[in-house]
Amino acid sequence: MRQEAFSIELGEGLTLRGNVHTDEAAGADQPLLLFCHGFKGFKDWGSFPYVADELAKRGVTTIRFNFSCNGVGESLTEFDELEKFGRNTYARELADLQALVEWIDSGEFAWPNYVDKSRLYVLGHSKGGGDAILFGAGNPRVAGIVTWNGIADVNLFDAGLRKQIAETGVGYIANARTGQDMPITRTVIEDVDQNREAYDILAKVSSMETPLCILSGEKDFVRLVEGAKRIHQAAKHSELHWIEGGDHTWNTRHPFAGTSPQLEAVIEQTAAFVRTPRT
């Protein structure tokens, strides 16, 4: 097992930090998987390092990374860059994914010869599932997409928050785990509203030829359970797997205290989908 940390300087004070997990013992021709965290998520949250290790053991070289404006800086585990969180848009996250792919292809990283960079997959949890679809749909560089309890609608902001932002320029969402008030600025709302067509997840899946694997916990939030059904119904090429008893984080918590049957099930299903040969 091999794990290497990396960072990509994007300019304008932004840094994309990540970790590559790979295992030579898992065999040759390994696909490469990008793991996108969700809203108020980060690459070192709870089970995510464990997940990346377990996927690598199954022959899926995995990159877990922090979006450059996710609010977590050099600490890696604390929201110590709330100003950046407050202006984190889908446009920024999609640009981060593009920068990550360009870095993969640049030769700056010494990729082992058993990794097949041409077999690139994108996995996203929750909001990250939306990013995975928006980035991967119709993208010739992406061989397949996986969503874990992914969103079906990019608008995560209710009327009350929108009113607060319209009146003051910034609104706040509570982080129950840390006790912090997480800022959301007008820039974020404008990005969603001005790009409704470009960010229409159901429209994306209905027209894309890219294979899609949808993993949804039966006990996840109702809007996400219903959203998984809508995505599956709209998609041209999708498979939907219900995880019995699974909640939003597959019955695991932060800090990580051990795996669960639900997490093991999604790891196995993800590896099976990504490892399937495609023409």
pLDDT tens profile 91-115:
999 999 999 999 999 999 999 999 9
Calpha distance 115→260 (Å, rounded): 29
Would you call 74 exposed, middle or buried from its count of C-beta atoms within 10 A (0-12, 13-18, 19+)? exposed
User: Could you say which DSSP state residue 62 is in?
Assistant: E
Give, for 266, the enclosing helix (H) or strand (E): helix 261-275
pLDDT tens profile 125-156:
999 999 999 999 999 999 999 999 999 999 99
Pairing assessment for the beta strands 14-22 and 170-174 based on DSSP bridges: unpaired
- Report yes or no: 21 and 3 within 8 Å, Cβ to Cβ: yes
Calpha distance 161→34 (Å, rounded): 31
Given this model, what pLDDT does residue 278 score? 84
pLDDT tens profile 50-70:
999 999 999 999 999 999 999
Mean pLDDT calculated for residue range 121-125: 99
The pLDDT mean for the chain works out to: 97
